[in-house]
Structure formats: C-alpha cells, structure tokens
C-alpha cells in the first residue's frame, strides 16, 4: 500500500498511543497510522513494549502501527521490529547513510520514515541529509528541536515552516510535517508547507494526557479540508 498515492485519504499519523482503547478511538476517527514511541533518548515511554506489541498485533488490517525509536543499529532495529510485530518504523536519531543502507539490505520489506530535525539555521544540512539518506528510506518527517529540553520529538512546538516547505520541494522522498501541530493550525501548516502528510502527538491530548476524541476529530477534519483545498488550488 502506498500511503501517499493520490486519491487515498490524506496521511495522518498520531503518535504516543497509550492503550488499546485509545488505538480503537483513533481508528474510529479516521487515523490509520498510529505511532508508538519506544526505546527513546529523552522521553519516557507511554506504555511497555509488550503492551505496544499486543496493540499492534490486534490492529485491523487497514491500520499501521509505526514504531518510533532512537535505535540506530540495523540488527537491533530489525529484531526490535520483529518483536513488535510491525514492518513500519520512524527512525528519530541521527543516522549515517551506511547504517540505513545496511538496514535496507537486511530488511527490504520495511517501511522506513526518517526524521529531519529542524534546529533553526540548518537548511543546507537538512538538504544534504535528505539527499544522502533518500535512497534508503520511504519518507522523511520534519520535526522540531527544543533547545530548552534537548527534545527532538513530542515538543508541542512548531518550527520555521519555510524550512519544511523547502525540503518538500527538494526532497527525493515524500515529506511528512510534524512539530506543534494542532486542530487550529494544521490547515495553515498544510497550505504553507504542502507536506505529503501530517503527524501530531501533544496537540490532540487533553489535560489527562490521553488523546481527546473531539480534538482528534477536529484535527482530522481540518486536515481533510486543507488537502481538498490544495487539490482545487493545483
Ligand atoms: O511522540 C513521542 O513521544 C516522541 C518521543 C520522542 C521522539 C519522538 C516522538 N514522536 C515523534 C513524533 O512523530 C511526534 O508525533 C512528533 O514529535 C510531534 O509531536 P508534537 O509536537 O507533540 O505534535
């Protein structure tokens, strides 16, 4: 399945799934890519690996469980994905082209999203990363660096969208936009960046830290309308 094929639903990923009830609710609201951050650098996991594997194994066929991780060793990534019962991975740590090439050699069956972390003044570096890594991955995701915490994911902060927009126009692979998106700004972000898809974590959470159904619904509706408007525009 090509998640970016035209005529399909827009690509929407929601990260930080907490349990089976939340996974089911996200599916009911039209979110088919569910992100499970595990083996991380800065953050604490929302659930155990066993709980995540159990949810992923029981997802309906049209849904995809995406493991989001800071692992960088190809063998370790491969065996971790087998343990988790998925072939979809978002690699969030810096990685050398040789490591990604080796992962692809070991596991041609994987669907690999690679992060491109926007730090502010680094357009040339990001362009180079996209060029050097593009051969070995299926998509990129731009995300925000937070200098206050050192975090590069789930920051709830936007970055300079013109940097993501430039990557979208030059990248050899589809680029998903993440970082500080929410129901109120996602349409503006899509119009500005024209990404292949969008991703959100904290922007659809309620005060209790769980995904809020109404916020998820508003995010999905705003995303669908924004992509429909883009099609009329182009
Ligand atoms: O989602 C996490 O908990 C996470 C933790 C550490 C690294 C990456 C992580 N997620 C990656 C994502 O794809 C998030 O959805 C993305 O960073 C957006 O988060 P937010 O700014 O809160 O919408």
Enumerate domains of the chain plus CATH numbers. 11-233 (3.20.20.70)
Residue 232 Cα to ligand 1 middle (Å)? 31
Its pTM stands at 0.96
The residues, ordered by sequence, that sit 6+ positions from 48 with a Cβ below 8 Å of its Cβ are: none
What would the pLDDT profile of 104-158 be if each residue is shown by its tens digit? 999 999 999 999 999 987 889 999 999 999 999 999 999 999 999 999 999 999 9
Closest residue by CA, ligand 1 atom 2? 154
The b-or-e profile of 83-112 (16+ CB within 10 A means b, else e) is ebbbbbbbbbbebeeebbebbbeebeebbb
Helix (H) or strand (E) holding 67: strand 64-69
Q: How far is the CA of 201 from the centre of ligand 1 (A)?
A: 6
pLDDT value, residue 45: 86
- 105 — phi, psi (to 5°)? -65, -45
Give yes or no for residue 41 having a pLDDT over 90. no
The Å distance, Cα 210 to ligand 1 centre, comes to 14
Q: Are strands 139-144 and 111-118 parallel, antiparallel or unpaired?
A: parallel
Q: How remote is the CA of residue 177 from the centroid of ligand 1, in Å?
A: 11
From 13, 44, 68, 186, give the residue whose CB has the most ligand 1 atoms within 8 Å, as the site to mutate.
Answer: 68
pLDDT at 234: 60
Identify the pLDDT of residue 215.
Answer: 98
| From 37-46, 108-117, 176-185, the region with the lowest mean pLDDT | 37-46
Instruction: Using the atom order of ligand 1, give the atom closest to the CA of residue 155.
Output: 21
pLDDT (0 to 100) of residue 231: 82
129: helix, coil or strand?
helix
Interface predicted TM-score (ipTM) over 0.85: yes
């Amino acid at each position: 399945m090509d998640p970016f094929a035209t005529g399909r639903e827009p690509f929407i990923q929601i990260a930080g799934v907490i349990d089976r009830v939340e996974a089911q609710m996200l599916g009911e609201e039209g979110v088919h890519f569910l992100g499970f951050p595990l083996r991380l650098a800065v953050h604490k996991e929302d659930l155990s690996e066993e709980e995540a594997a159990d949810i992923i194994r029981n997802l309906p066929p049209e849904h995809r469980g995406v493991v989001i991780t800071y692992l960088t060793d190809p063998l370790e990534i491969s065996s971790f994905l087998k343990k988790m019962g998925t072939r979809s991975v978002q690699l969030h740590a810096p990685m050398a082209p040789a490591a990604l090439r080796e992962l692809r050699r070991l596991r041609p069956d994987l669907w690999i999203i690679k992060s491109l972390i926007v730090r502010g003044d680094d357009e040339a570096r990001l362009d180079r990363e996209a060029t050097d890594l593009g051969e070995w991955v299926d998509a990129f995701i731009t995300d925000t660096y937070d200098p206050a915490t050192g975090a590069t994911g789930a920051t709830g902060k936007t970055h300079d969208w013109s940097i993501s927009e430039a990557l979208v126009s030059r990248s050899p692979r589809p680029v998903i936009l993440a970082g500080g998106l929410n129901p109120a700004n996602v349409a503006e972000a899509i119009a500005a960046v024209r990404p292949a898809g969008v991703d959100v974590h904290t922007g659809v959470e309620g005060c209790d830290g769980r995904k809020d159904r109404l916020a998820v619904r508003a995010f999905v509706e705003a995303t669908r309308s924004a992509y429909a408007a883009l099609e009329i525009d182009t």
